[in-house]
Amino acid sequence: MHTAEGFTLILTEIRLHRLSLPLREPFRAAYGETHVRHLFLVEAVTANGARGVAECVAMADPLYIEETTDTAWWAIRRYFAAEALAAEWTAPAEIRRWAARLDRYRGHRMAKAAVEMAVWDAWCAEHRVPLAHLLGVARTEVPAGISIGIQPDVDTLLRKVESALAAGYSRIKLKIQPGWDVEPIAAVRRHFGDVPLMADANSAYTRETADRLVALDDFALLMMEQPLGWDDLVDHAWLQRRLATPLCLDESIRSADDVRRAAELGACRVINLKPGRVGGFTASLAIHDLCRQLGLDLWCGGMYETGVGRLHNTILSGLPGFTLPGDTGPGTRYYAEDLVDPPVEFHRPGWLPVEPVCGLADRVVWRRVEQHRTQLEVIRRDDL
Ligand code: OSB
Ligand code: MG
Beta carbons within 8 Å of 309's beta carbon, 6+ residues apart: 54, 55, 57, 276, 302, 303
Q: Please, what are the domains in the chain?
A: 9-133+363-383 (3.30.390.10), 136-353 (3.20.20.120)
CA dist 181 and 210 (Å) reads: 12
Buried-exposed string 192-215: b where 16+ CB fall within 10 A, e elsewhere:
eeebbbbbbbbbbbeeeebebbee
pLDDT tens digits, one per residue of 213-237: 999 999 999 999 999 999 999 999 9
pLDDT tens digits, one per residue of 324-353: 999 999 999 999 999 999 999 999 999 999
- Would you say the CB of residue 252 lies under 6 angstroms from ligand 1? no
- Would you say the CB of residue 73 lies under 6 angstroms from ligand 1? no
Mutate to test the pocket of ligand 1, among 25, 147, 200 (most ligand atoms within 8 A of CB): 147
Cα 346 to ligand 2 centroid, rounded to whole Å: 23
Statement: residue 3 has pLDDT above 80: no
- Would you say the CB of residue 313 lies under 6 angstroms from ligand 1? no
Q: Which ligand 1 atom minimizes the distance to the CA of 200?
A: 1
pTM of the full structure: 0.96
Q: Tally DSSP H helices, then E strands, for the chain.
A: 14, 13
- Would you say the CB of residue 251 lies under 6 angstroms from ligand 1? no
Statement: residue 4 has pLDDT above 60: no
pLDDT tens digits, one per residue of 246-257: 999 999 999 999
For atom 12 of ligand 1, the residue with the nearest CA is 147
Mutate to test the pocket of ligand 1, among 327, 328, 335 (most ligand atoms within 8 A of CB): 327
Orientation of helix 154-167 relative to helix 182-192, angle to 10°: 50
**What pLDDT, on a 0 to 100 scale, did the predictor assign at position 352?**
98
**What pLDDT, on a 0 to 100 scale, did the predictor assign at position 357?**
97
Cα 214 to ligand 1 centroid, rounded to whole Å: 23
Cα 64 to ligand 2 centroid, rounded to whole Å: 9
- Would you say the CB of residue 202 lies under 6 angstroms from ligand 1? yes
For atom 6 of ligand 1, the residue with the nearest CA is 303
Helix (H, G, I), strand (E, B) or coil at 359: coil
Annotated catalytic residues are: 175, 274
Surrounding residues of ion ligand 2, Cβ less than 5 A:
200, 225, 250
